[in-house]
Amino acid sequence: MIVTRVAQELKPGSVVNLGIGLPTLVTKYLPEGITLQSENGMLNMGPPAPNGEADPYICDAGGKKVTILPGGCFFDSATSFGIIRGGHVDATVLGALEVDQNRNLASWMIPGKMVPGMGGAMDLVVGAKRVIIAMEHCAKDGSPKILKQCTLPLTAANQVDLIVTEKAVIEATEQGLILREIQPGSSLEDILQSTEADLIIPEELRG
Amino acid sequence: MIVTRVAQELKPGSVVNLGIGLPTLVTKYLPEGITLQSENGMLNMGPPAPNGEADPYICDAGGKKVTILPGGCFFDSATSFGIIRGGHVDATVLGALEVDQNRNLASWMIPGKMVPGMGGAMDLVVGAKRVIIAMEHCAKDGSPKILKQCTLPLTAANQVDLIVTEKAVIEATEQGLILREIQPGSSLEDILQSTEADLIIPEELRG
Amino acid sequence: MPKITDAATAIKQIKNGDTVMIGGFMAVGTPENLVDTLIEQGTGDLTVICNDTGFIGIGIGKLIVDHRITELMASHIGTNPETGRQMNAGEIKVTLMPQGTLAERIRAGGYGLGGVLTPTGFGTVVEEGKKTIEIEGVPYLLELPIKADYALLHAKVGDKAGNLMYHGTMYNFNPVMAMAANTVIAEVDEILEDSFLPPDSIHTPGIVVDYLVKKAW
Amino acid sequence: MPKITDAATAIKQIKNGDTVMIGGFMAVGTPENLVDTLIEQGTGDLTVICNDTGFIGIGIGKLIVDHRITELMASHIGTNPETGRQMNAGEIKVTLMPQGTLAERIRAGGYGLGGVLTPTGFGTVVEEGKKTIEIEGVPYLLELPIKADYALLHAKVGDKAGNLMYHGTMYNFNPVMAMAANTVIAEVDEILEDSFLPPDSIHTPGIVVDYLVKKAW
Percent helix, strand and coil across chain C, each to the nearest 5: 25, 35, 40
How far is the C-alpha of D162 from the C-alpha of A154, rounded, in Å?
Answer: 43
* Interchain contact, B74 vs D199, CB within 8 Å: yes
For the beta sheet containing C138-143, the strands, ordered from the edge strand earlier in sequence to the opposite edge, are: C132-135, C138-143, C115-118, D115-118, D138-143, D132-135
Closest chain A residue by Cα to residue C175: A79
Is residue C63 domain-resident? Answer: yes
Contacts of D138 in chain C (CB under 8 A): 114
Contacts of A72 in chain C (CB under 8 A): 161, 196, 199
Closest chain C residue by Cα to residue B116: C78
| Any D CB within 8 A of C168 CB | yes
Contacts of D111 in chain B (CB under 8 A): 81-82, 85-86
For the beta sheet containing B146-147, the strands, ordered from the edge strand earlier in sequence to the opposite edge, are: B105-106, B98-100, B146-147
pLDDT tens, residue order, chain C (217 aa)? 899 999 999 999 999 999 999 999 999 999 999 999 999 999 999 999 999 999 999 999 999 999 999 999 999 999 999 999 999 999 999 999 999 999 999 999 999 999 999 999 999 999 999 999 999 999 999 999 999 999 999 999 999 999 999 999 999 999 999 999 999 999 999 999 999 999 999 999 999 999 999 999 9
Is residue C8 domain-resident? Answer: yes
> For D156-160, what is the mean pLDDT?
97
Model pLDDT, residue B53: 86
Chains that touch D (3 or more CB pairs under 8 A): A, B, C
Model pLDDT, residue C205: 98
Contacts of C168 in chain D (CB under 8 A): 200
Closest chain D residue by Cα to residue A77: D172
SS3 A107: coil
Q: Is the dihedral of CA B189, B190, B195, B200 positive or negative?
A: negative
- Angle between helix axes D99-111 and A77-85 (nearest 10 degrees) is 120
pLDDT tens, residue by residue, A12-56: 999 999 998 899 999 999 999 999 999 999 999 999 988 888 999
Provide φ and ψ at C123, rounded to 5°. Answer: 85, 10
Distances (CA, A) of A149 to A20, A114, A171, B96, C83: 24, 20, 16, 62, 57
Note whether D34 and D11 are within 8 A (CB). yes
Please give, rounded to a whole number of angstroms, the shortest distance from the CA of C15 to a CA of chain B.
Answer: 28
* Interchain contact, C123 vs B154, CB within 8 Å: yes
Please give, rounded to a whole number of angstroms, the shortest distance from the CA of B187 to a CA of chain C.
Answer: 34
Q: How confident is the model at residue D91 (pLDDT cuts 50, 70, 90)?
A: very high
Model pLDDT, residue A21: 87
How far is the C-alpha of B160 from the C-alpha of B192, rounded, in Å?
Answer: 20
Note whether D186 and D211 are within 8 A (CB). yes
* Interchain contact, A123 vs D120, CB within 8 Å: yes
Distances (CA, A) of B199 to B101, B105, B148, B188, C6: 8, 17, 10, 11, 64
Contacts of C122 in chain D (CB under 8 A): none
How far is the C-alpha of D53 from the C-alpha of D73, rounded, in Å?
Answer: 10
Model pLDDT, residue B21: 87
Between A and C, how many residue pairs show a Cβ–Cβ distance under 8 A?
60
pTM tops 0.90: yes
| Any D CB within 8 A of C137 CB | no
Contacts of A13 in chain C (CB under 8 A): 1
* Interchain contact, C200 vs D165, CB within 8 Å: yes
Neighbouring residues of B187: CB distance < 8 A, sequence distance ≥ 6: none
How far is the C-alpha of A116 from the C-alpha of D198, rounded, in Å?
Answer: 40
Q: Which of A68, A85, A117 sits opposite D100 (nearest CB)?
A: A85
* Interchain contact, C205 vs A43, CB within 8 Å: yes
Neighbouring residues of B12: CB distance < 8 A, sequence distance ≥ 6: B31, B32, B33, B34
Note whether C211 and C2 are within 8 A (CB). yes
Closest CA to A77 of C111, D217, D8: C111
CATH of the domain at C106: 3.40.1080.10
| Any C CB within 8 A of D97 CB | no
Q: How confident is the model at residue A184 (pLDDT cuts 50, 70, 90)?
A: very high
Model pLDDT, residue A114: 85
Chains that touch B (3 or more CB pairs under 8 A): C, D
Please give, rounded to a whole number of angstroms, the shortest distance from the CA of A159 to a CA of chain C.
Answer: 15
pLDDT at B70 over 90: yes
Give the B window 22-81 contacts with D, CB below 8 Å: 33, 35, 37, 42-44, 68, 70-75, 79, 81
Closest chain C residue by Cα to residue D138: C114
D-interface mutation test, from B68, B73, B122, B125, most D Cβ less than 10 A away = B73
Please give, rounded to a whole number of angstroms, the shortest distance from the CA of D135 to a CA of chain A.
Answer: 15
Note whether D146 and C180 are within 8 A (CB). no
pLDDT at B52 over 90: no
Closest chain C residue by Cα to residue D171: C200
Contacts of A44 in chain C (CB under 8 A): 161
Model pLDDT, residue D195: 95
The strand pairing partners of B74, in sequence order, are B42
How far is the C-alpha of C55 from the C-alpha of D28, rounded, in Å?
Answer: 47
pLDDT at A207 over 80: no
* Interchain contact, B118 vs C79, CB within 8 Å: no
Contacts of D104 in chain C (CB under 8 A): 113
Query: Greatest CA separation found in chain A?
Result: 55
| Any C CB within 8 A of A181 CB | no
Contacts of D145 in chain C (CB under 8 A): 135
| Any C CB within 8 A of D179 CB | no
Closest chain D residue by Cα to residue B12: D1
Note whether C127 and C119 are within 8 A (CB). no
Neighbouring residues of C157: CB distance < 8 A, sequence distance ≥ 6: C164, C165, C167, C188, C189, C190, C191, C192, C197
D-interface mutation test, from C105, C113, C134, C140, most D Cβ less than 10 A away = C113
Note whether B17 and B124 are within 8 A (CB). yes
Is residue C133 domain-resident? Answer: no
Q: Which of D1, D112, D161 sits opposite B127 (nearest CB)?
A: D112
pLDDT tens, residue by residue, A141-182: 999 999 999 999 999 999 999 999 999 999 999 999 999 999
Closest CA to D161 of D189, D192, D183: D192
Say how many CA atoms lie within 13 Å of A74 toward its Cβ.
Answer: 25
How far is the C-alpha of A63 from the C-alpha of A75, rounded, in Å?
Answer: 16
How far is the C-alpha of A42 from the C-alpha of D203, rounded, in Å?
Answer: 15
Q: Say if strands B42-48 and B105-106 run parallel, antiparallel, or are unpaired.
A: unpaired
Between B and C, how many residue pairs show a Cβ–Cβ distance under 8 A?
152
Contacts of C159 in chain A (CB under 8 A): 71
- CA C138 to chain centroid: 31
Contacts of A46 in chain D (CB under 8 A): none
pLDDT at A112 over 90: no
> For B147-171, what is the mean pLDDT?
98
Model pLDDT, residue C1: 84
Report domain extents, chain B: 2-205
Q: Which of D99, D167, D174 sits opposite A81 (nearest CB)?
A: D99
Is residue C121 domain-resident? Answer: no
- Show the domain range for C11: 3-113+145-214
What's the complex ipTM? 0.97
How far is the C-alpha of D110 from the C-alpha of D158, rounded, in Å?
Answer: 20
Note whether B154 and B98 are within 8 A (CB). no
Model pLDDT, residue A113: 86
Is residue C120 domain-resident? Answer: no
How far is the C-alpha of B12 from the C-alpha of B29, rounded, in Å?
Answer: 12
Which architecture does CATH list for B2-205? 3-Layer(aba) Sandwich (3.40)
The DSSP annotation for C72-122 comes to: EEESB-TT-HHHHHHHHTTSSEEEE--HHHHHHHHHHHHHT-SEEEE-TTT
Model pLDDT, residue B102: 98
Please give, rounded to a whole number of angstroms, the shortest distance from the CA of C119 to a CA of chain A.
Answer: 21
> For B73-98, what is the mean pLDDT?
98
Neighbouring residues of D144: CB distance < 8 A, sequence distance ≥ 6: C135, D105, D108, D114, D115
pLDDT tens, residue by residue, A93-111: 999 999 999 999 999 999 9
Is residue C48 domain-resident? Answer: yes
Residue B181's region, left for phi above 0, alpha for psi from -120 to 50, else beta, is: beta
Closest chain C residue by Cα to residue A57: C200
Q: Which of A15, A73, A82 sits opposite C179 (nearest CB)?
A: A82
| Any D CB within 8 A of C200 CB | yes
Please give, rounded to a whole number of angstroms, the shortest distance from the CA of A173 to a CA of chain C.
Answer: 22
* Interchain contact, B74 vs D206, CB within 8 Å: no
Closest CA to D193 of D169, D160, D146: D160
Provide φ and ψ at B116, rounded to 5°. Answer: -75, -15
Q: How confident is the model at residue B37 (pLDDT cuts 50, 70, 90)?
A: very high
Neighbouring residues of B103: CB distance < 8 A, sequence distance ≥ 6: B157, B158, B159, B160, B161, B172, B173, B174
Model pLDDT, residue C173: 98
Q: How confident is the model at residue B49 (pLDDT cuts 50, 70, 90)?
A: confident
Model pLDDT, residue A52: 82
Domains contained in chain C, number:
1
DSSP state of A31: P
Is residue C154 domain-resident? Answer: yes
Q: Which of C119, C165, C199 sits opposite D114 (nearest CB)?
A: C119
* Residues of chain D in Cβ contact (below 8 Å) with chain B: 1, 107, 109-113, 159-161, 163, 179-180, 196-197, 199-200, 202, 205-208
C-interface mutation test, from D28, D130, D142, D169, most C Cβ less than 10 A away = D142
Residue D107: which H helix or E strand, with range? Answer: helix D99-111
Active site residues of B: 39
Is residue C130 domain-resident? Answer: no
pLDDT at B207 over 80: no
Q: How confident is the model at residue D110 (pLDDT cuts 50, 70, 90)?
A: very high
Note whether D50 and D24 are within 8 A (CB). yes
